Amino acid sequence: MTVEIVRRGESHAEEIFHLYGDVFGQGLTERSRERWRWQYLENPATSTGGPAIWVAVENGAVLGQYASMPVRLQWGEREVDSSWGMDVFLRPEARGKGIGALLFGAWSESVTVALGLGLTESSYGLFKKLRYEDVGPVPFFQKILDAKAVAARKAGPWLGALGPVAGAALDLARPERVHPDAGSVAVVSIDGFSDEFDGLWERARASYAMCVRRDRSYLMWKYRQPPHRRYALHAARRDGALVGYAVSRHEDYQGLRLGWLVDVFADSDDRAAKDALIGSVLDAFRAVGVARVQAFCLNGALAEDLRSRGFFEGRSPMQFCVRARGDATHVFADRERWHVVFGDSDMDR
């Protein structure tokens, strides 16, 4: 019997979860169910037809699946249907038979723009084989706030004592420059996203050639409702009007307090708002002892904002491939105005 690629239905649910457990471990499966409901069922872009998941079936048995995260996407001068490709897995006996390519094809043909981010080596090879545009790795940035802690983590306490010297050298090499108009922007902590954020998106969207629609429903779902993460939210205002937001979090990682600048959004040309947001997050990180701050950022203007605050670029593991239906030459030529950060797709699991 020929392998069929079908949209996931309720009849597939338990078999897929069982298969997921066989591939990744039953413990992970149980922990993942709550996140799965949030990621696929509660996503405001999920259609009435159910999650955007494609299943390979042969003789009634599930061989594997490809799951995606649907989003609305600013793409050039218009908004289109899009999705991030995410979880793909196959039964061992189904591998090497072209079934993965069939699943990829069903997914990418279902949307105007298909997005693959943070790819494994095998997925990256398949994306290129299927002639996705290789956008390249999303640049990775970091900033050292506590050079002594970072040095001690890398080299031990004795050499770690040289941390202050290294910190002074970093401050000289990469000084933290404040935008001259940042003082006109007030940044406050918030608990959620109001209807004002719909207006912010509508005002700022045209300044990006590619950006996931960041309206209130998306932001609430992405940064307030996930069961596996808790984020700090920051809103920027100028003369009382909302002009931007930032999302951050911090955690202990292998003996080091690590901070993530998950998302920064404002009109691309509003450098003062973005600088005020970045500065506010850095101040909050310093207050809780964060030693190193990390961020992924594809947008050219935001990258310059990060460099102005003393961030430097490191090696990035986050490969990015895109496939668009129709002529998108002008959008691909304008990658400096693409907005992709750590908060996009499901990178921050």
CATH number of the domain that residue 231 is part of: 3.40.630.30
| Whether 178 and 277 share a structural domain | yes
pLDDT at residue 231, rounded to an integer = 98
Question: Of 98, 114, 134, which one is at a domain's C-terminal end?
Answer: 134
Using one digit for the tens of pLDDT, what is the confidence trace for 41-77?
899 999 888 889 998 888 878 888 888 999 999 999 9
209/187 Cα distance (integer angstroms): 26
Total domains, the chain: 2
| Whether 153 and 276 share a structural domain | yes
pLDDT at residue 127, rounded to an integer = 85
| Whether 125 and 169 share a structural domain | no
| pLDDT beyond 90 at 133 | yes
pLDDT at residue 22, rounded to an integer = 66
User: How many other C-beta atoms can be found within 10 angstroms of the C-beta atom of residue 44?
Assistant: 16
Token pair recorded at residue 44:
């405001």
- Domain membership of residue 305 (yes or no) is yes
Using one digit for the tens of pLDDT, what is the confidence trace for 85-99?
988 888 888 888 888
Using one digit for the tens of pLDDT, what is the confidence trace for 243-256?
999 999 999 998 89
Parent domain of 10: 4-134
- Domain membership of residue 349 (yes or no) is no
240 CB-contact burial (10 Å; exposed 0-12 / middle 13-18 / buried 19+): exposed
135/117 Cα distance (integer angstroms): 10
Using one digit for the tens of pLDDT, what is the confidence trace for 282-326?
999 999 999 999 999 999 999 999 999 999 999 999 999 999 999
Mean pLDDT computed over 147-171: 63
| Whether 92 and 144 share a structural domain | no
| Contact by Cβ (8 Å): 312, 277 | no
Token pair recorded at residue 287:
């207050």
- Domain membership of residue 345 (yes or no) is no
Question: Of 134, 157, 172, which one is at a domain's C-terminal end?
Answer: 134
215/245 Cα distance (integer angstroms): 12
pLDDT at residue 87, rounded to an integer = 80
| Whether 109 and 212 share a structural domain | no
| Whether 130 and 145 share a structural domain | no
At residue 9 the predicted structure's pLDDT band, cuts being 50, 70 and 90, is confident
Question: Residue 326: which H helix or E strand, with range?
Answer: none
Which residues are CB-neighbours of 262 under 8 A, at least 6 positions away?
223, 231, 247, 248, 249, 295, 341, 342, 343, 348
Using one digit for the tens of pLDDT, what is the confidence trace for 173-205?
568 999 999 999 999 999 999 999 999 999 999
- Domain membership of residue 342 (yes or no) is no
